[in-house]
Amino acid sequence: MSSEAPPPFRERMLGLLEPSQLMAMAISYYMRVCVEAVKRGEVLAPITQTAKIRDEAFARFWIAFSTARAAAPAPNAPETSTITEAEGPELVGSAALIPPLLRTASGVVLDIGPGTGSQMHLLRSPAITSIYGAEPCVGLHAELRAKAAAEGLEAKYHVLSCGAASSELLPALEATGTGIVDAHNRDRSGVFDTILCVRVLCSVPQMERTTRELYALLKPGGRLLVTEHVVNPWRTVKGSFLARAAQAIYMMFGWRYFIGDCCMDRDTEGALRRAADQDGGWESVQLERSFGWSALPYISGVLVKKTQ
């Protein structure tokens, strides 16, 4: 458990309003894309092509947001900064949870929902042999490939146009021609030594099923590295009823629709723990909770699959 103390009352109240700024920014990009479609003569696009409109709007928003966060990191934002301790100010808020975890990644790595690749600078360890980035938002792929090139990871990093579900992920892996899934297809021995879930399980469809499938793709002894915002544990001493109410309000007013299917109210920790039930549980689970006073409380840590 995290021992971090809540900030003063005024800062807690301001923190509860922080998601509204992100939502307003996302809505503005959505409206721009709708207007542009209408100007192109696609008058009904906002009604008949909602998936396309949402994908393009979210891609633009996320690129702009990631760039802004890289320049000025802020507490508890749902995307990490690319500034490292040696390059700029010390990371604060949820961004500080990520580097210690990702720097332990090794072997064959699956990076779920890497977005624009803002965490890629943490994956340059020689212990990593290859990285597969499963990013369903095609509009982010150019930024992701550019980031891989900038970090010298072009040869290691494979961009996949899919989500985390096995029905999408396995065909995408086979299409790379690397033979990475051959052993798994033959004897279900697993594929990855490390799987990264950083601010992504909030938006995957069918989270319970997805976490079980990710567990199955881990090799024996494989590690799942997690930093995720979750439903506020308001019934516990660490939680906040006010923050839980704020989550419900944001969801009611369209947070999920405008923020890439993100859900504020998922019991991600419970789903992760249950993912290994078929094998009698994980070898070890080391998860900490942080920011229980906020609308974006986090869990972070490592889950290790049994070797036998």
Give CA–CA dist 203/112, Å, rounded.
11
What is the mean predicted confidence (pLDDT) over 185-200?
A: 91
Spatial distance between the Cα atoms of 90 and 140, rounded to a whole number of angstroms: 27
Q: Domain residue spans in the chain?
A: 1-308
CA-based nearest residue to 63, from 82, 47, 91: 82
For the entire predicted model, the pTM comes to 0.89
Split at pLDDT 50, 70, 90, the class of 35 is very high
Render pLDDT for 96-134 as a digit per residue (tens, 0 to 9).
999 999 999 999 999 999 999 999 999 999 999 999 999
DSSP sequence for 164-211: SSHHHHHHHHHHTTS-TTHHHHHH---SEEEEEEES-TTTSSSHHHHH
**Level-2 CATH architecture, domain 1-308:** 3-Layer(aba) Sandwich (3.40)
Hey, what are 111's tokens?
Answer: 């990076």
Given a contact cutoff of 8 angstroms between Cβ atoms, the answer to whether 95 and 73 are in contact is: yes
- Looking at residue 91, its pLDDT comes to 63
- Sheet order of strands, 157-160 included: 157-160, 128-134, 107-112, 192-198, 218-229, 298-304, 284-290
66 pLDDT more than 90 = no
> What tens digit of pLDDT does each residue of 238-297 get?
899 999 999 999 999 999 999 999 999 999 999 999 999 999 999 999 999 999 999 999
Asked whether 221 and 304 are in contact (CB, 8 A), the reply is yes
Residue 229 token pair: 């915002």
